[in-house]
Amino acid sequence: MDSISTECLVIGGGVIGVAIAREVAKDNIDTILVEMNDSLGAEVSSRNSGVIHAGFYYPQDSLKAKFCNNGNKLLYDFCSAKNVFTKKTGKILVSSNSDALTAFRSYQERAIAAGGESLSILHRDELLSLEPELSSSYGLYSPETGIIDVHGLISALEQDFLSSNHGLVSLHTRLLSCRLINNGFISILRSGSEEFEVKSKKVIFAAGLDSFTLSKFTPLNNHSLVEPVNYSKGHYFKLSGKSPFQHLIYPMPTQFGLGIHSSPDIDGSIRFGPDASWVDEVNYEFSPGIKSAFVSSILEYWPALDEQKLHEDYVGIRPKIQKPDEPFKDFSILTKVDHEIDNLVFLQGIESPGITCSIPIAQYVANAIKN
């Protein structure tokens, strides 16, 4: 069996894994990034709304709150420097229920606490002046929210990683096992029909949907730290014709997601989604009869919808570690503080707002293995 030595091995080539590998390699640490698919970012990273969030939904002491607003600024700056498409469209959270005003005020406080720009409460006339086709009575405007070319982001992160002269990407590569040795780790991987081993001083697991499965092949000795991954399926529909909105339009969030919202695509078209339902397997097929639920939800804030112009777009699966009876679950980033193993980081539950948080998460992980 061939053997390769490197300083750091990163398992998982979604946007989080690529961002981490880039950040580690910036410190002149030789790093190998492995991904089981034939391209980077093929799963969770490329099957979402492509939104840069402002971070006002999350409890103030959570990693999501700490990373999101800072990540928002870092992401806009990075994409500007790398010529990756972003557009600060702004976002309007809408409701026709006056009880929403209480939530709006709470979000205003959270935005300020997180270091974000002020959020503005809008009443019906103000809403109509911004978006004449909305039917809602109340709104909350977030100026920092926007959209991003996720594929462009992943490509730019990868190019930075490879151009550091300390980075190597291995696609079609699966982890078979990882064990501790005296001064680091030995990982057995398979690429095609060939198996090989990688000796590394550091190992980082950013495996997304496969995190729970892969945890069984790691040196972690306290598996109670690792959460089962719950698959949350979300459908997206695209609207043919001209977009009715200039901003991102969101309903009030649900327990398991941000609701069926409208978001402009980078080509100027508009999509709606995602919904959220628990499933037992990763399956990217459209569930039968799902369109009627979308139509009902969209009509609540856009009564002029012509459902004949609403067409199936794509499906995403979110790797939630939140259980159906839990109201909130934060990102899980296990370091030596948690599992008592030097130079091992294990990430789980990096779903929304994961893209927005990708650069701060990478900095956090790089510091963890540095210190």
pLDDT, tens digit (0-9, with 9 covering 90-100), for 310-332: 999 999 999 999 988 888 999 99
Beta bridge partners of 159: none
Cβ atoms of 312 and 272 within 8 Å: the answer is no
Tell me, what's the pLDDT at 133? 96
- What is the average pLDDT across 146-166? 97
pLDDT value at 256 more than 70: no
Q: Is the pTM of this model over 0.75?
A: yes
- What is the average pLDDT across 76-103? 97
pLDDT, tens digit (0-9, with 9 covering 90-100), for 16-45: 999 999 999 999 999 999 999 999 999 999
Tell me, what's the pLDDT at 226? 96
Cβ atoms of 280 and 231 within 8 Å: the answer is yes
Cβ atoms of 146 and 88 within 8 Å: the answer is yes
| 8-state DSSP, 144 | T
Domains of the chain: 2-46+152-228+328-370 (3.50.50.60), 88-146+229-320 (3.30.9.10)
pLDDT, tens digit (0-9, with 9 covering 90-100), for 262-288: 999 888 899 999 999 999 999 999 999
Cα of first residue to Cα of last residue in the chain, in angstroms, is: 33
Give the three-state DSSP class for 236.
Answer: strand
- For the record, the structure tokens of 228 come out as 């089962």
Phi-psi region of 99 (alpha: psi -120 to 50; beta: other; left: phi over 0): alpha
Tell me, what's the pLDDT at 11? 98
Tell me, what's the pLDDT at 43? 97
The stretches of 201-241 forming alpha helices (DSSP H) are: 211-215
- For the record, the structure tokens of 1 come out as 């069996």
- What is the average pLDDT across 100-109? 96
- What is the average pLDDT across 169-179? 97
Tell me, what's the pLDDT at 324? 83
pLDDT value at 157 more than 90: yes
Name the average pLDDT for the chain.
95
The rounded distance, in Å, linking the Cα atoms of 236 and 265 is 12
The rounded distance, in Å, linking the Cα atoms of 27 and 30 is 9
- What is the average pLDDT across 63-79? 96
- For the record, the structure tokens of 230 come out as 């719950």
Tell me, what's the pLDDT at 151? 97
